Amino acid sequence: MATRTDAPTRREQILKEAARLFAERGFHGVGVDEIGAAVGISGPGLYRHFAGKDAMLAELLVGISGQLLTGAKRRLQEADGVASEAVLDSLIEGHIDFALDDRPLITLHDRELDRLRDSDRKLVRQLQRQYVELWVEVLREVYPGLAEPAARSAVHSVFGLLNSTPHLGRPGSLPGRGATARLLHRMARGAFAAAGTQ
């Protein structure tokens, strides 16, 4: 979602508006007619793209977990032979892009994950665990003395910090995307440094 530069497909437009509406009013507070109206098609027309709201929610939450993992793997491949510090910076930058560009998905995950079918929820958790483990491995390369449980706790803590963006205020009230990204990056590195020196 956040990494695309070409025009979004109709399906992607529907998902983006569904995420925004679900985040604003809750999954049960939004009907298919409202989602359809947001993208200029009839509510029933959505069924040509999705079986229903549950399918949209699953695709949103499974999809973003998969995208984060795929993006992290790509960053690791591109950074082959690069210093571990730079790899960690790259991972942080990728997650900050998500946190700033896909804020409704963070809200949606926090509020609606339990509404997914068991199989979809398990898949989200599996993808998230793999994503965390990539970070843990890199973090322990940067701070070799950091025990694995402490590294995992530090990664989860930094995710909590970065994923706080829905609570920072409306996008127009922030100091600007670049300044916010730099602030979040410094805070993430500071948190990791504090963990690594204990």
Q: Is 192 part of any domain? A: yes
Find the domain containing 116 and state its range: 52-196
Q: How far is CA 181 from CA 71, 123, 126, 138, 151, in A?
A: 18, 29, 28, 21, 23
d(CA 28, CA 47): 18
Listed in sequence order, the residues at least 6 apart from 185 whose beta carbon sits closer than 8 Å to its beta carbon are: 89, 92, 93, 96
Q: Is residue 178 part of a domain?
A: yes
pLDDT tens digits for range 44-59:
888 899 998 999 999 9
Q: How many residues does the chain have?
A: 198
Q: Does residue 32 fall inside a structural domain?
A: no
Pairwise pLDDT comparison (79 vs 100), residue with the higher score: 100
Q: Dihedral of the CA atoms 137, 80, 131, 197 (nearest 10)?
A: 30
Q: What is the pLDDT of residues 146-193, one digit of tens each?
A: 999 999 999 999 999 999 988 877 656 667 889 999 999 999 999 999
Mean pLDDT of 78-88: 89
* Average of per-residue pLDDT values in the chain: 91
Residue 183 is assigned to a structural domain of this protein? yes
Cβ neighbours for 118, distance < 8 A, ≥ 6 positions apart: none
Q: Using one digit for the tens of pLDDT, what is the confidence trace for 8-31?
A: 788 999 999 999 999 999 999 999
Let me know if residue 61 belongs to a domain. Answer: yes
Determine what percent of the chain is predicted with pLDDT higher than 70: 94
CATH number for 56: 1.10.357.10
User: For the chain, how many structural domains are there in total?
Assistant: 1
In a domain, 16, yes or no: no
Residue 153 belongs to a domain: yes
Q: Is 116 within the bounds of a domain? A: yes
Please give the DSSP secondary-structure letter assigned to residue 115: G
Looking at residue 120, its pLDDT comes to 96
